[in-house]
Amino acid sequence: MNLPFEPKRQTQDYQKSDAAHHIHAFVDQKALNAEGPRVMVRGEGLYLWDSEGKRYLDGMSGLWCTQLGYGRKDLTAAAAAQMDQLAYYNMFFHTTHPAVIELSELLFSLLPGHYSHVIYTNSGSEANEVLIRTVRRYWQVLGKPQKKIMIGRWNGYHGSTLAASALGGMKFMHEMGGLIPDVAHIDEPYWYAQGGELTPAEFGRRCALQLEEKILELGAENVAGFIAEPFQGAGGMIFPPDSYWPEIQRICRQYDVLLCADEVIGGFGRTGEWFAHQYFGFEPDTLSIAKGLTSGYLPMGGLVLSKRMAEALVERGGVFAHGLTYSGHPVAAAVALANLKALRDEGIVRQVKEDTGPYLQKILHEAFGNHPLIGEIQGTGMLAALQFAEDKGTRKRFANENDLAWQCRTFGFEQGVIIRSTLGRMIMAPALVASRAELDELVDKTRIAVDRTARIAGKL
């Protein structure tokens, strides 16, 4: 075994105990128990090692979150120092603490000037739970308590808790445990799959106009907000056509509907801008954040509010009936602060925008621009999606695209690279600190996995 450490136990021993105690995310647990999960034991930079000593280039930043990669000693040190000084306190009953204050000062120095306040949570799901109550409270304070309905999108993802999954548009999630009242959905702007004969620009506008139709159907006086990811992440790393966001913004403003951007994946430099809405050029009223806020080193999320909303809630709202034990947790805040400092002071976000991001997109286009299996490449910064196509001319997708993508992901693992599959799309979101050499390795290994998949699909 070629390990930079001694695993404490045998892989099968871990797997047996894992099967005895865990229900894993989004998987048939019985099938997983039969197969046995990979046991990940160490991370350094962009690399992970499993308990068998196999090394992987992590092309997904964990779950889109390790902006700085693994093993950053400055983050470890920040956590240890904060634990020594004040391991826990809270923001209840008229108290606060320096760690959370310093984090917020830095956070708002990185955000556009029209945001001022944040409600911290432990996760992205919680950020979106808080969103629903906060948006409704805002309209109550403005004397419009009937404005309660949230509009989301089919195939959007906003988390796994009850209300967050209801905002999302994953029907198979709605079927497990139900929806909540006062939530509606419109179509996703997935041109490749659903655009038909329309140009991307026409399709983008058509999808945006669905929002207007839905608002008119429900009555603008009843609609509180529209929530969407600037680009869909879990739904397949889908970028909307350029015509989409300007039209969505116009509609939200016209009907006095809050525009709520879920920046859980897009935030903290992923696109080469600090936040994805800046990349797409629109101005949301709220931002849901998590993941890259701490580079995933500790759980932390939040709901960022515009000055306009915060002013109404603070000056006219009275008691805000909400609070989480771990909101603004000092250790998570100290790690987030160290993380954001590193992203800023080491010029990492700028590097993604000016150097490594364009480089990744260039080598992807070289490797897959004419690939027989790939119909479209989307991406920017440290983000990319490869769309499988059975017929590139007509954009026909494979009937078994899900199986093919899963197979491609498995080939990737065999090759020592972790890429994510969704319905017919392969996704990459490597750490923002990836070097050109690591990006070369990511694309080279992905190419081998995609070629093997193309052979199975009869395309090579």
Name the site residues for ligand PXG (rule: CB under 6 A): 63, 123-125, 128, 157-159, 229, 233-234, 262, 264-265, 290, 301, 420
* Cα(145)–Cα(97) distance, integer angstroms: 34
Task: Supply the Cα-derived Rg of the chain in whole angstroms.
Answer: 22
Q: How far is the CB of 446 from ligand PXG (least distance, A)?
A: 17
**Residue 152's beta-bridge partner residues?**
185
Query: Between residues 45 and 236, which has the closer beta carbon with respect to ligand PXG?
Result: 236
Query: Between residues 165 and 249, which has the closer beta carbon with respect to ligand PXG?
Result: 165
* Cα(345)–Cα(390) distance, integer angstroms: 45
Q: How far is the CB of 116 from ligand PXG (least distance, A)?
A: 22
Q: How far is the CB of 98 from ligand PXG (least distance, A)?
A: 25
Query: Between residues 164 and 454, which has the closer beta carbon with respect to ligand PXG?
Result: 164
Query: Between residues 111 and 141, which has the closer beta carbon with respect to ligand PXG?
Result: 111
Query: Between residues 225 and 233, which has the closer beta carbon with respect to ligand PXG?
Result: 233
**What tokens were used for 39?**
């046991």
Query: Between residues 158 and 206, which has the closer beta carbon with respect to ligand PXG?
Result: 158
At 42, phi and psi to the nearest 5? -155, 150
CB 377 within 8 A of CB 386: yes
* Cα(368)–Cα(448) distance, integer angstroms: 11
Q: How far is the CB of 17 from ligand PXG (least distance, A)?
A: 23
Q: Which of 107, 128, 114 is nearest to 225 (CA)?
A: 128
Query: Between residues 104 and 123, which has the closer beta carbon with respect to ligand PXG?
Result: 123
Query: Between residues 67 and 351, which has the closer beta carbon with respect to ligand PXG?
Result: 67
Q: How far is the CB of 262 from ligand PXG (least distance, A)?
A: 4
The set of residues, in sequence order, having a beta carbon less than 8 Å from that of 45 and lying 6+ positions away, is 69, 70, 71, 431, 433, 438
Query: Between residues 165 and 351, which has the closer beta carbon with respect to ligand PXG?
Result: 165
Q: Is 459 helix (H, G, I), strand (E, B) or coil?
A: coil
Q: How far is the CB of 289 from ligand PXG (least distance, A)?
A: 9
| Residue 12 CA, distance from chain mean position | 32
Give the nearest residue (CB) to ligand PXG.
124
Question: At 49, which helix (H) or strand (E)?
Answer: strand 47-50
CA distances from 415 to 27, 58, 235, 440, 443 (A): 23, 12, 25, 14, 11
Q: How far is the CB of 217 from ligand PXG (least distance, A)?
A: 26
| Pairing relationship of beta strands 383-388 and 374-380 according to DSSP bridges | antiparallel
**Residue 441's beta-bridge partner residues?**
none
Q: How far is the CB of 63 from ligand PXG (least distance, A)?
A: 4
Q: How far is the CB of 52 from ligand PXG (least distance, A)?
A: 23
DSSP letter for each residue of 373-426: TEEEEEEETTEEEEEE-SBTTTTBPPTTHHHHHHHHHHHHHHHTEE-EEETTEE
Q: How far is the CB of 292 from ligand PXG (least distance, A)?
A: 11
Query: Between residues 312 and 418, which has the closer beta carbon with respect to ligand PXG?
Result: 418
* Cα(314)–Cα(280) distance, integer angstroms: 30
